[in-house]
Structure formats: structure tokens, C-alpha cells
Structure 1
Amino acid sequence: MNLTSKTAITAATSALALGLLAPSVASATSLEGYSADVAHEAIATLTAERGITDTAAANILRTQQASASTLTELTTTLGDEQAGGYLDARGLPVVNVLTAAAAERAEQAGATAKLVTRSVEDLDAARATLEALPGVPHTSIGLDPERNQVVLTVAEAAADDAAAALESAARRLGDAVRVEHVPGGMHKAIYNGEAITGGGSRCSAGFNTNDGSQNYIIDAGHCTGAVSEWNVGPSVDASFPGNDYGLIQNTTGSAPGEVSLYDGTTQPITSAADATVGQQICKSGSTTGLTCGTVQAVDVTVNYAEGAVHELVQTSAPVDSGDSGGCLFSGSVGLGITSGMGGGSSYFQPVTEALSAYGLSLN
């Protein structure tokens, strides 16, 4: 097989792949696993962003769940022969590969194989070089699998001298690192108000979970570390910075496995998974309610003023102060916990990591 770094290899034609992964259904807004309100908002966001029809947007959403599972399986089985993956504009899986043999295996699994020059080890080494430097508040370091690069994002609130040193180090790493500048700063998203409240602060309720006998709410660690007693129960743990997850004992007697959409309806959550670049997602929070967008990056380190938080998910879904702890999801699949915002993006703690850390299951 003759491969080049600019060649994308597919297992079948686009029409065939779409036929395999996106079965047709009667209604464009009837999406398996999606509540009616979430389907409506997700479709509306896609149509506005891309100028496509409701039917085309719904087909992307139907396709992406199977595609995300395919990517997870392939990145595991290909091991060192892959360098991450993402969902393309149609919601179909693309896997970055380093060898022709890996490309063939990816094709056989129904994915597009894209030959790249930098391995996971190469990207991790570039990232480690940047993260070994003193942390600069209002900057972030993440991975862009679509361009096989590490991305250093510098907000205008970053200190000039410190940011300049970081950018200089990035330039020495060549095209393995891309530098982007964004307006504003990067802040954790907590503020005063209502929703779950305590100590004069407000956050948003996260996912209801249990250990088999007791109900807990997994929330943002910067919320549970700041407030000891909420109107829904006491904080029992916090991990922030480093991570941004924490635990509240739910003493209300009510802990449904559903996300409030802040309009009187809910979205059932039946499983948890890791987010994928290119995936269409929604988030629920007590300030901005239900908003939707796209996963822009994963494994992102965000340097808040309070310290660095690692392995976050970066999305385009709008958040604002008070949304902290709120839920990131794709249909009925829980993905993350609202951590912060900056430069037009929002950041989320992966929920799978928090569930594993506490040994809890979703309700």
C-alpha cells in the first residue's frame, strides 16, 4: 500500500460508510438516547454552525456514537501504531496511524486511516517539555489529533514575560507545537447565586451516583473544596487543582439518573464514556441552561490562577459563572463535569476519571 502523510485511506466509499453507521429513522429530530429538548438544541447548534439541514445534522448525531466506540476500540488495539483519532465533519471515525499495517486494520474496522509523522510518544514528549516549565496562569496545553500537534493556547490575561518564555520554548519544538492566542482569561466557573448553594456560593449539580448504599453527587472539585455544606448535603471530598472533581453526599432523598435541562424536562443518563474530538455534545448548567457545541480537544492542561488542572475536555459549548459542576453529555452518555472557561472555549473534567477515583456508579 502506497501511503503519504496527506492521504486519508477509507475502508469504503463515503456513501457506504454512512449507510453502515447512520441507519435512517422516520424523524430528523427523533434521536435514540436523546430527550426531545436535547435533540432540538443539538440539531439547532449544528445547523447554525454549519449551515446544513436539520436532517443532515440529525444524521451526524446518529452516526457519532457508534463512531466514538470504534475509535476507542481501535486506539486500544493498535497501541503504539496509532497517534489518536477524532470524528470528521460527518461524525465518522478517523484514526491517525504510523504504519501501513495499522492503516489496513483501521480500514477493516470501518474507520478512515490517516498516516501521520508524530507518534503519541513524540506528542507526549513535546507536551512534557512545555509542562515542565513554570505554569503560566491563563494558558492551556492540549492535543489536536486532526493536525497531529500539541496546541499551546495563550489568553491575553497571561503575564507578558512568562507567556513569552513559554512561547519561546514552544517555537524550539518546531511544528510539533502550534501557538494560538485568544482573548480574555481562563477562569473556574463559580459565582454567587442559587442552584446548589452553600457558603454564599453557587455551583450546578453534577451527576447523581451511588456506592451501592449511599447517593452522592459528583461535582467540580473547586466547588466542593470551597464549600463544606450545600443545600443538597455536605462536601466529602475535593481534588483541585491537578484534577477538578469532588463529592457531595446527597441527603435530599432524591437522586435520579437524569440531567435537568432547566426548562422542566430532563435527559436520562444511562452510561459514561470519554469524549472524542469532533463529537457533538451538550452541557447543562444553572446559569446558561442547556447549550451545545463540539469537542475541540482532549487531554488539555488548563493553567487557572489557582493552579494547573490536567486531562480536561475542551468544547465550544457556552458556559458562564455558576455553571461549575454541571453535566457534559452526548445523548444519554455522560462525559464530563464543568470546570471552567476562557478564550471562547469551555473546559470539563472527564466523569469517567471521577467515577473510577471514587468507585461509584451512575444512578
Structure 2
Amino acid sequence: MKGRALSFAAAVGCAVLAAAPAQANPRLVDYPAPAIAPGVAIATYNPDRTPAGFCTVGWLVHDSAGHPALLTAGHCDLGGGAAYQNATDGTVGVGRFTHHIDEGDRGEDADIAVLGIGNYSGAESVATDTRIIGIRPTASPADPGRLAIGDQLCHYGATTRLTCGPITAVLDTKVLFAAPASKGDSGGPVYYRNSDGTATPVGVAIRAADDDGGTVAELIGPWLQRWQLTVDSTPAPAASVGYHR
């Protein structure tokens, strides 16, 4: 895998998709989920609401005003909104992008976006779950100083599903780790798996590493601060031991 093997197209602009999209993405029906959660597949749309890309939900967040949103890769913003395949209700519009950065696919080039959930009227109609694919509870984000070469990181992508591997490099805004990824995994959650069964958020997957087939993740810490976002952690009663995914 070379370059941005996780992407479908370059990002352009911003537009609204607050309701179900005009056309369902044919790939999306293969990835039903009961709610929007880290690791769930999302289809992205062009400004004319035609299907465009296919990415993965990263971390659920709230902004400083309490509005719900999610993190994903910046290149997933193709000018329209996004949708997911609800297991009961079919294709459901998630919302529109409110922030996105897509500087390229080399080195420290930034690649991250915020997708507003419901934007913000009708947000209660979009079901959400803070657990990774509804299984592994989300804890507080990692302190950047915790990242060390050799530590095991995991990511969950809509296409590849769960993959894990050791950290091979830590940059100012990125972390590289030896785990494979495929198209459609862009934006998926990157995390530490903890012994208590929880996940400690680290970043979102943005591309495959050029040299070794590993994964490059955008660290979320700087963007949480810049955009005044808070990661939605899972309430303590939902956390338990024994998770294997």
C-alpha cells in the first residue's frame, strides 16, 4: 500500500446533509449498525448528494456548546454530508462537516475532520454509542507523553476491522504503527487496549505508511484543544473486562 491507501478522493468544501441522503451508497448496506459508534462505516457525499466516499467513524465528541459530533479523517469530507446504515431504519443521514483539514499525505500534513451529528436540530434522532462498535468502552484520551516506540496500538476500520501492531514512530502530530489498513478504514479510531477492557483514544487512522504497510494516525489531542472538543467517554458501568476486539 502506497500513499493514501485509505482514501477515495480529495476533500472539497462543506455542505449540508441533515437528513437521509438522496441516494444510498451501495457499499453501505454491507455494514449495518444499530447506532453511530467508533468503528462504524459511513458513506460520504458530493455537494449534489450523490455517493462519493466510504470512511469510518472515529471518536464521538461534544463541542464547547454541548453539540454532538464525531471525528474522522479530513479527506473524508467530499463536499456533502455523511450517512450510515442503521440496522433497523436503513440509510440514515448523520449530519454535515463543521471542520476539516486535508493538507496532503506526507509527513506532518494534517488530515482530520469534525462531522456534526444532526447539526444540531434533530440530533436526538441519530442513535449513538460511545463504545467501539458497541463493544469496547471508551476511556479518557491518552497523554501524548505516553506514546512510546514498541507500544501496541489498535485501530478499527470498516473494511479491515480490528488490526493491532507496535508503534514504529512518534511525530509531533502523528503516530505510525505496524498494523495493516485498507480503503474505507480512514477516520477509524486508533487506541490503546487496556487490561480493564476499555480503549484509550490516541488518534484517527488517515493513511497507510509508505514504507512498511503500517498505518499512520493523526493524533487527536491538538485538535481537541484547537476546536474545543471533548471526547465522549463511556459511563463507568458499561466498562468491564473480557473484551477481545
What's the TM-score bracket when you normalise by the shorter of the two chains?
Answer: 0.5 to 0.7
SS of the residue corresponding to residue 186 of structure 1 reads: coil
Deviation of 1:292 (Å): 0.9
**Equivalent pair of 1:323/1:338 in contact (CA under 8 Å):** yes
Letter of the 2:219 partner, please give it. Answer: P
Report the equivalent of 1:325: 187
For residues 115 and 7 of structure 2, the distance between their equivalents in structure 1, rounded to whole angstroms, comes to: 16
For residues 223 and 266 of structure 1, the distance between their equivalents in structure 2, rounded to whole angstroms, comes to: 25
Which is richer in helix? 1
CA shift digits 1:199-234 (9 cap, x unpaired): 22100011000025210101111112x242111211
Residues 151-230 of structure 1 mapped to structure 2, 5 A cutoff: 185-191=2-8, 193-194=27-28, 195-199=41-45, 200-211=52-63, 212-224=65-77, 226-230=78-82
Deviation of 1:254 (Å): 2.6
Report the equivalent of 2:216: 347
**Equivalent pair of 2:175/2:217 in contact (CA under 8 Å):** yes
Counterpart of 1:337 (choices 204, 228, 245) is: 204
TM-score by length of 2: 0.63
**Equivalent pair of 2:191/2:200 in contact (CA under 8 Å):** yes
Counterpart of 1:257 (choices 122, 130, 149) is: 130
Matching of residue 233 in structure 1 with residue 79 in structure 2: no
**Equivalent pair of 2:5/2:182 in contact (CA under 8 Å):** no
SS of the residue corresponding to residue 136 of structure 2 reads: strand
Q: Which has the higher contact order (CA 8 A, sep 6+)?
A: 2
**Equivalent pair of 2:99/2:113 in contact (CA under 8 Å):** yes
For residues 297 and 271 of structure 1, the distance between their equivalents in structure 2, rounded to whole angstroms, comes to: 23
Deviation of 1:250 (Å): 1.1
For residues 159 and 126 of structure 2, the distance between their equivalents in structure 1, rounded to whole angstroms, comes to: 24
| Structure 2: gaps (5+ residues) | 9-24, 29-40, 46-51, 84-93, 104-108, 119-124, 194-198, 233-245
Please provide the CA RMSD for this pair.
1.8
Letter of the 1:255 partner, please give it. Answer: T
Identity %, equivalent residues: 24
CA shift digits 1:82-130 (9 cap, x unpaired): xxxxxxxxxxxxxxxxxxxxxxxxxxxxxxxxxxxxxxxxxxxxxxxxx
Report the equivalent of 1:297: 169
Residues 1-363 of structure 1 mapped to structure 2, 5 A cutoff: 185-191=2-8, 193-194=27-28, 195-199=41-45, 200-211=52-63, 212-224=65-77, 226-231=78-83, 232-241=94-103, 242-251=109-118, 252-260=125-133, 265-273=134-142, 274=144, 275-299=147-171, 311-331=173-193, 332-341=199-208, 342-343=210-211, 344-363=213-232
**Equivalent pair of 1:257/1:362 in contact (CA under 8 Å):** no
For residues 136 and 148 of structure 2, the distance between their equivalents in structure 1, rounded to whole angstroms, comes to: 20
**Equivalent pair of 1:218/1:354 in contact (CA under 8 Å):** no
| Structure 1: gaps (5+ residues) | 1-183, 301-310
**Equivalent pair of 2:62/2:69 in contact (CA under 8 Å):** yes
4+ runs deviating over 3 angstroms: none
Larger Rg: 1
| Cα 1:356–1:188 shift into 2, 3 Å | farther
SS of the residue corresponding to residue 71 of structure 2 reads: strand
Moved more, 192-201 or 273-282: 192-201
CA shift digits 1:149-178 (9 cap, x unpaired): xxxxxxxxxxxxxxxxxxxxxxxxxxxxxx
TM-score by length of 1: 0.43
For residues 204 and 112 of structure 2, the distance between their equivalents in structure 1, rounded to whole angstroms, comes to: 8
The aligned length equals 165
**Equivalent pair of 2:44/2:76 in contact (CA under 8 Å):** no
SS of the residue corresponding to residue 353 of structure 1 reads: helix
For residues 79 and 205 of structure 2, the distance between their equivalents in structure 1, rounded to whole angstroms, comes to: 17
Letter of the 2:185 partner, please give it. Answer: D
For residues 138 and 221 of structure 2, the distance between their equivalents in structure 1, rounded to whole angstroms, comes to: 13
